[in-house]
Amino acid sequence: MNDVRTPDPGWFSDDEFDDVRRRLPMVYVEAVPVRVDDRGFVTDVAVLIRVDEYGEMRSALVAGRVKYGESIREALTRNLEKDLGLLAFPRLPLSPVPATVAEYFPFPGRLVDERQHAVSLVYVVPVTGECQPRQDALDIRWIPFEDAVRESIDSEFVGGRGQVLRAALNTITPR
């Protein structure tokens, strides 16, 4: 195993992380950024646009690991900032209770993440600022709420994440 230490004790080296991924489920947070109207109803939903391993443009959710010693709120804040930029101004939920929980497996037949077994806490997060794609996201696409809850959205995502998006949005009271 690689013995190189990272300056942040919340991260493993690449070799250590690959080994851990093969042995333990990983905890993630995922966020569904939304815009709300003056009455508090969701009008639009943001998805990230990324290029998959085949060079195709695919939709993705804001997502990332929960680091050791990091609270869920801290992980949500860090990953929203990482994917949407500093000026997104997310309004984090008061409670750490997620809208839904997703479990990804490294084999087909369920929600899939080829790298690992992962458990993800999924939150619907209103954003009030300007969202700019960062990291490996090429763009941010805003879609009407009504389109985001249709089954046809599933084909835009990899590994069943469209189902996760719809499950999270189905916890919201429609207009």
So where are the chain's domains?
26-169
Beta strands in 55-134 (DSSP E): 57-60, 62-65, 100-104, 118-126
CB atoms within 10 A of CB 34: 23
Our CA angle for 96, 97, 100, nearest 5°, is 130
- Can you give the pLDDT at residue 1? 45
pLDDT at 116: 86
- At 32-50, the pLDDT tens digits run 999 999 999 999 999 999 9
The per-residue pLDDT for range 118-131, each reduced to its tens digit, is: 999 999 999 999 99
Output the pLDDT for position 2.
Answer: 46
pLDDT reported for residue 23: 76
Quick one: 26-169 is in which CATH superfamily?
Nucleoside Triphosphate Pyrophosphohydrolase (3.90.79.10)
Contacts of residues 41-44 at CB distance under 8 Å and 24 or more positions apart, as own/partner, are 41/174, 41/175, 42/124, 42/126, 42/145, 42/169, 42/172, 43/144, 43/145, 44/142, 44/143, 44/144, 44/145
- Which parts of the chain have pLDDT scores under 50? 1-3
pLDDT at 21: 73
Residue-level pLDDT at 9: 61
Measured over the CA atoms of residue 158, residue 73, residue 16 and residue 107, the dihedral's sign is: negative
d(CA 155, CA 59): 9
Residue 19: its pLDDT value, please?
79
